[in-house]
Structure 1
Amino acid sequence: MQYLIPNQTTVYHIAYAPAIEKAYLFHWGCNLKCRGCLCHKEINCMALEENLDVVLRDPRLPKPKDPSQYLDLEELMTTLRKVPVKEALFEGQEASIDPAYGAITEALKAEFDCYITLNTNGVKLPDLSHTDEVVMSLKAVTPKLYRDYTLHSNERVLRHFVEVFRLGKKLRAESVFIPGLIDLEETEKIAAFIAAVDPNIPYRIDAYFESGADNSWRRATPEEMAKAKAAAKKHLVNVTCTQQTAAKLEKKDLMYEVVRLY
């Protein structure tokens, strides 16, 4: 995607948690083609009250429409000035490929002096001068499996993971446990790769939920997630896993209320 307007960003949606004064910036566009991407189901924040049913939505429903509007840098800052901001999380499809990433983080630091976290697939490293923390999705470390799931190579991802650690940035890793694809064996391989860099790097394993009409993977069970966590803990000090076990989420189930700013 190329932009002719100076300081145009790929931010199409901003969510906000008032209790912790945290802004969530959602960016459009990605450099991978993950077959189980949650954007096949929903492109806005899943913690918004209207999206608490996302996990249980039928994956065969039509995909959400692409965003029709994007904020330029001044519009983004004007929106955020309406609230106090202690933290900002860059997410969505892939924030690292936003040409304005460096300008946005610099502006946020200058205006709010907030803590900035980048969620990224790690294919590209943007200017991290004003970024405090990087959360990298490793997806898979086995090259063939990674290519099967994303249609791309993971060579740069693994190299960038090490580079971010050597930069001295706070670094976390995550992956999605997909029964029959990114399973117990691969999850342990991911943990072993992380441990070779530093066994103290936190690792989060997310349970897959059905997304994308063209695949037949099922949701992970609590028993499978417990085994995945135990396998990863053979190598790492700090391992967590996430899974929605409730049949239906409600607003009261959330740790923090999340509202839409844009």
Structure 2
Amino acid sequence: MATLTEFTPSLSALKRSLTHVYHIAYAPAIKKAYLFHWGCNLKCKGCLCHKEINCMALEENLDVVFRDPRLRPPQTPAGSLSFDELITILEKVELAEVAFEGQEASLDPTLPEICRYLKGRNARVVLHTNGVAKADTANIDEVIVSLKAVTPRIYQEYTGLSNSFVLENFKRYHDSSVLLKAESVFIPGYIGFDETEKIARFISSVDKSIPYRIDAYFESGDNPWRAPEPAEMKEAVGIAKQHLANVYSTQQTKRELTKADLLYEVIRLY
């Protein structure tokens, strides 16, 4: 196994450096860790963090989808881990894969060193990103870009920022050595059938084989939108499949989940 001294000439400074990681979840059955980051360069109206900032697969959060967001004030983490604290926690578990989740991991100044450490552990590294900033992919295996919208007006209204960097960075990720995937959130009447097709067309213009996941919107933040019906999600997938080879969707329809409903148990490491 690689050691920390191989990663940087300034080991003591690195160990003291604060990461943006505030929460770590772990699935023992598949040896996968989920690192949740705080801080973002977008202000998405339907961001999950308006409702819950910790892993949705934890037992205490299995009701997240159907919670009324107006009954719970916005949350912020108490603090973040230092690089040394993060590594100390991860050293206690076996790692086959690690996913960067939460808000925007590409803003974490320690991200390259975290990835380098993980590759030293022979772990597969997956970055979830909004694509506004282009991360160093030297030690990243897979990048999943959230394409909020491709229509400039809708993107700016929803996020507060232009999407020109996102679309260019999506192409740059495709030209790198990583496995690239795309995702978006389906919001009926807003980011609906027309916009979903535009997203699919954009992805197709880069590469028809890029996998595309369409997530069903659920109530988060103070918004007027409703969750889509299963038939609408099926139709959205069918529309996207006219342009792409690999399209699928996610939607929780069961109101009361238990651990038995999960593919594998997820526990909190921090």
Residue 250 of structure 2 corresponds to residue 236 of structure 1: no
Q: Deviations over 1:44-98 (max 9, x none)?
A: 0000000000001002123343111211111101101111001000010111111
**Distance of 1:105 and 1:184 partners within structure 2:** 37
The answer for the alignment partner of 2:59 in structure 1 is 49
Query: Could you tell me which residue of structure 1 aligns to residue 170 of structure 2?
Result: 161
Q: Which runs of 4+ in 1 moved over 4 A?
A: none
5+ residue gaps, structure 1, are none
1:251 maps to what in 2? 259
Greater Cα shift, 9-18 or 63-72: 63-72
1:181 to 2:190 alignment: yes
C-alpha distance in 2 between matches for 1:63 and 1:253: 28
Q: Tell me what 2:31 maps to.
A: 21
Deviations 1:129-164 (A, max 9, x none): 100100000010000000011011000000000000
Match of 2:7 in 1: none
- The 1-side partners of 2:16 and 2:145 are apart by 29
Match of 2:112 in 1: 102
Give yes or no for contact 2:15–2:84 (8 Å, CA) kept in 1.
no
Residue pairs, 1:70-109, within 5 angstroms: 70-109=80-119
TM-score (norm 1): 0.96
Query: What is the Cα-based RMSD across aligned positions, in Å?
Result: 1.4
Q: Is the 8 A contact 2:149 2:195 kept in 1?
A: yes
Kept in 1: contact 2:15–2:83 (CA 8 A): no
Equivalent position SS for 1:60: helix
Query: 2:20 & 2:135 partners in 1: Cα distance?
Result: 14
Mapping of 1:128-147 within 5 angstroms? 128-147=137-156
Q: Tell me the matched-pair count.
A: 258
Deviation of 1:6 (Å) = 4.2
Paired residue secondary structure (1:68): coil
Query: Do the aligned partners of 2:63 and 2:255 also contact (CA within 8 Å) in 1?
Result: no
Residue identity (%): 60
Q: Match of 1:118, as an amino acid? A: L
